[in-house]
Amino acid sequence: MTALLALPEGLFALLAALRRLLYRCGLKSVTTLPVPVVIIGNINVGGVGKTPLTESLLRDFAALGVKVGVISRGYGGSHTAPTLVSARTPASLVGDEPLLLAATGAPVAVGRDRIAAARLLLQQHPHLDLILSDDGLQHYALGRALEIVVLDGERGLGNGHLLPAGPLREPAARLRSVDAIVVNGGDASRLSLPPGVPCFCQRLAPSAFYRAANPAETRQAQDFAAERVVALAGIGNPQRFFDTLQRLGVTLQRSIALPDHHPLAAADLPQDADAVIVTAKDAVKLQCVNHARLWILPVAARLEPDLAPWILSRLKETNGRKIS
């Protein structure tokens, strides 16, 4: 780290600490909603696997009979007011991740003001038992029952420095105060995690490839063997996606990495490929593209141990309230 970055990093740290202190001391107000809010967040920038985790939790809670909704910032969307998300909502309005979460059947609302988004959600779905906040760890105006932080098991905390000298939004010491840590991929034992904080391991398990123009048509990796294949990803960590394809045995002619939340369009798809493979997150931005060469690789999060029952147990302990 250069001396030029030390000063802005120190200023960033001071402002972040001061802001959090103002909320803790009551000098800035915190809004507590009538149902528990569980934050699924991170302390570092870049993709860490929060959305697959949230998808997994939504399906697990549904299986347990728990009525759960989601609030999200809706990054990449043009919305200016809190907005409900349905399967037909354009990604250009609400962003890509909320559409993926809405596909689980859970009610979803987006908004720059997450409190307003949560109120809209509860107004439309008053019988919710629980709200998951996709991101929002640093949105301290929103009261929360639990904080769950996701870390990339391969990248960890990077160089350990705050922005702009490193990848961290808050210092590593912030992990001591969260309720649980989910390590996505890699080896959790290699990370210096605070003792006493429950740790869960997440693995992303890919399913069969399916054709965007006909989701009922599926393929395995070997079915691409005779084709020129290009992989395209506009996610937080595109290399993870490319590595997954290669581990599955897909030979890539080339890979195209775009910025996270990039507003994909038909013009972004290469014309010199027999098959173009994208993530499910990118695919929701291409719903209007009937592209016969476009294939999607969905992934599902697998957690050890199970996280959803642990959340319900902790909410019962901390709030004295059973959710079922």
Feature table: binding site for ATP? 44-51
Closest CA to 183 of 196, 172, 199: 199
Annotated binding site: 44-51
Q: For the beta carbon of residue 22, count every other beta carbon within 10 angstroms.
A: 13
| Residue 4 identity (one-letter amino acid) | L
Dihedrals φ, ψ of 87, to 5°? -65, -25
Element (H, E) at 58: helix 50-63
Spatial distance between the Cα atoms of 14 and 170, rounded to a whole number of angstroms: 10
Beta-ladder partners of 205: 300
Spatial distance between the Cα atoms of 149 and 45, rounded to a whole number of angstroms: 12
Q: What is the DSSP letter of 31?
A: B
Q: Which residues contact 222 (CB under 8 A, 6 or more apart)?
A: 249
Dihedrals φ, ψ of 316, to 5°? -65, -40
**3-class secondary structure for 113-163?**
CHHHHHHHHHHHCCCCCEEEEECCCCCCCECCCEEEEEEECCCCCCCCCEC
Closest CA to 106 of 123, 82, 128: 128
- 44-82 burial, b at 16+ Cβ within 10 Å, e below that, comes to beebbbbbbbbbbbbbbbeeeebebbbbbbbbbbebeeb
